[in-house]
Chain A
């Protein structure tokens, strides 16, 4: 039997407001432990929450970008669960009346747009940070004691819940890249995963291909990069297929994905853990956003990444368009092309060389970049790489690099190519047996031998003609 993955995502995004969602402590990374705390976010007796207006507005703005209906009456609720990082014993979160519902995100694919439903997007507070100290390799179960820093507690989070519309780990990754770029462009979050500003839980089940049943799903938590997420989902999909194929049943369970070992560890949970006893937060009043506010937020929306991918696709291929847009590179690309660069070459240089060199994109002159793109095959690789690395420097000029010429003389390059092929007989045989991808390896070796001064296009032709002879 063939199986189809059914995947839904819950994405938590930190909003980059200046202050927390229910108190006016500053939000920030790297401040001294517990220095950004007050009676409210420490849960002192009698302290009361007050909503951060900007956090509400940004939640609505994101909802609009995701095509959601904006609730005319949203209500905060208390969600109870016991953990030391939750100082009140409950988290304030929107529950049955969230700010945004029923949206969708279009994921451009080669076969047309995939529609990923957005069930809801709601505003809530983040928990504090607990550190487990001592014991067996710092594992929770074996710690000697735990330490709590309440700085992060109360940071505004938007939780975005998708419908189970995602059909592969790769699709999940592409959805998340597009979502991240969307929140970054809205200016509401840095969405940096390494800082915990974007966190993803995946709900995964599988079903026989073609059926529309929904089987028991499991949840994978704690995945802190898009690659880990894709790998975690892949591992879980495979595991579930194995379970069903062996005649067993998948049981509802929560897993942590360990990226180092590629394994899933089941979380032990108490039977009561899911009885959250939600009820409307009596310390807050409902949010009923005035129509003119929603209209103003709507008017502020920029052209969104998914739309731009579609627009760029007409000029480039889908993959390059996607990489440029989700990398926030498409604007520079457009200006570089306008300055005379070839579309595809410009896309390649920007997405690979420029991003790889860590250049400050905002400081790059599209005109100078266009010159380098045009000269890429002509000038020595070392000169090109150096020029790219310096593109962000103030007053950068491409001229000094453009006058250098790469070695394109076949007579000069032939002996070097021969030497490289001789030195790598195994790779030569593999290439001849169909491993065409090794071409890049040979070119790389020749470039190394010539200190990057060879013209890679000429080298490539020489290697090919020799091997295919």
Chain B
């Protein structure tokens, strides 16, 4: 009997390498776990019955195009859409022999922080199914957490990998912008979208990152990695300098339980001989969210202009072209994409561009500078990943601004294009708390090393208590 709840990707690879298990048996074991738990958790939109490679399985967020396999980005407007090409990341995992386990649930077009915006119904948190798994990549994070996949790929625009990983108690990396190809990934906000791994350990995350990262000729906004990915080893933080933003202490949005777990981790870091200092990010926490909610919707309004019912996806019949497009879009997009399309359209429209989109782009410049300054003399900035633990389904669904506030801590570094790693650092009321480590551009190896040492010291049990 394979314990998918505790099996890491590395562990699974070992089983295959040593011939203790076949790829088919491994695949079947995960399908069995899915059959048992996914009725309740709804992590998957669809699964593959047969392994497609001879390696270990992987789950892909449903924004990643998979040739011959329906890809909907959680939206009705893409219902039935079956890509005729693989996203570069899908091709790379395939090329590495990984076998597609299934496509995981997401907020529609990755817009959301709870997976409640999926047109196909919400996913649930394995630690407490009455609560959200976070979002938009809640499906992947919940699947990894519940043992329904050893690992998976998500996409992160303002926190969609880091925040669900925090809420589900696993490890998620949002890589440096431009290190992982976006080709074939259903676009939300092009200057922010970044694909990254979710897994149960930092080493697994680093391993998957090494498979997908690197320049892609099909994506003009990718760069060659300056150094090869190194799998982290060791458990010392000696010589590591961590910076806590001054402002974190004053943010009322951070729940006491989250704060307690965060502070305990800082203590742990000092025990491991890390130096913990302070940095200043005043603009990031005041203007990061506003900046993000101008830039991302503006780009989204443009990226979603292609869904017109002409070449693929939903079409609502009508007697004239204009009417067909408007009705298709009205039927096909849920409330959150509509909200963002409208917001972005408005922010770009004549007379408002300078005040909204133009201004936000300038704020972005300041946030980049502020992060560069803050990281001077430090190896990483540390904050809680999410201000709260997983919240009950429906709690914030009626209040867009409350939902947007979930990403308060993850957004600023996304705007700056910097890598962020979330690792579980403890529990608050029985629910996982995530620790966010933000590094320099292309500083993934440093984050892996620090994250791995933390992970060893913390010894967090990633298996949800109710499933142990």
Contact = CB atoms under 8 A, between A and B. Distances in A.
- State yes or no: do A and B touch (Cβ within 8 Å): yes
Interface of A: 39, 42-51, 78, 80, 82, 84, 87-90, 146, 148, 274-275, 277-279, 282-285
B301 to A, nearest CB: 8
A260 B345 CA distance: 41
A285 B182 contact: no
Contacts of A51: 220
Given A87-B306, A282-B299, A46 B184 contact: yes
B86 to A, nearest CB: 10
Interface string B273-310: 00000000000000000000000001101100110101
A284 B301 CA distance: 17
Contacts of A88: 305-306
A275 to B, nearest CB: 5
B183 interface: yes
A203 to B, nearest CB: 20
B302 A50 contact: no
A87 B305 CA distance: 9
Interface of B: 63, 65, 71, 73, 78, 81, 83-85, 87, 182-187, 189-191, 217-221, 298-299, 301-302, 305-306, 308, 310-312, 321-322, 325, 345, 348-350, 353, 357
A148 B321 CA distance: 12
Contacts of B185: 46
A452 B221 CA distance: 70
Q: Which of A49, A80, A278 has the most CB of B within 10 A?
A: A80
Contacts of A39: 84-85, 184
Contact of A49 (B63, B81, B220): B220
Given A46-B87, A46-B185, A282-B191, A87 B310 contact: yes
A42 B310 CA distance: 10
Contacts of B221: 48, 282-285
Contacts of B345: 277
9 contacts: A43-B306, A44-B84, A47-B85, A48-B183, A50-B220, A89-B308, A278-B348, A282-B190, A282-B221
Contacts of A282: 189-191, 221, 299
A177 to B, nearest CB: 37
A45 B185 CA distance: 7
The A interface is mostly helix, strand or loop, or mixed, namely: loop
Contact of A45 (B186, B189, B191): B186
A81 to B, nearest CB: 9
Nearest to A22: B220
A78 B302 contact: yes
Contacts of A87: 306, 310-311
Contacts of A49: 220
Contacts, number: 98
A82 B357 CA distance: 21
A144 to B, nearest CB: 10
Contacts of B298: 279
B220 A285 contact: yes
Contact of B308 (A48, A84, A279): A84
Nearest to A38: B85
B11 to A, nearest CB: 32
Tell me which of A46, A82, A274, A282 has the highest count of chain B C-beta atoms within 10 A of its own C-beta: A46
B324 to A, nearest CB: 10
Given A277-B349, A282-B299, A283-B220, A89 B311 contact: no
Nearest to B63: A46
A272 to B, nearest CB: 9
Nearest to B357: A279
B310 A89 contact: no
**Residue in A39, A43, A84, A282 whose Cβ sees the most chain B Cβ within 10 Å:** A282
B321 A90 contact: no
Contacts of B348: 277-279
Contacts of A46: 63, 65, 83, 87, 182-187
Contacts of B87: 46
Contact of A84 (B73, B83, B321): B321
A146 B318 CA distance: 13
Given A50-B217, A87-B310, A285-B221, 5 more contacts: A48-B220, A50-B220, A277-B345, A279-B302, A282-B221
A50 B184 CA distance: 13
Contacts of A279: 298-299, 302, 348, 353, 357
Contact of B220 (A90, A148, A275, A284): A284
A53 to B, nearest CB: 12
A84 B322 CA distance: 9
A44 B322 CA distance: 20
A455 B168 CA distance: 100
Nearest to B351: A275
Contacts of A89: 302, 305-306, 308
A148 B191 CA distance: 31
A275 B65 contact: no
Contacts of A45: 65, 71, 73, 78, 81, 83, 186-187, 306, 312
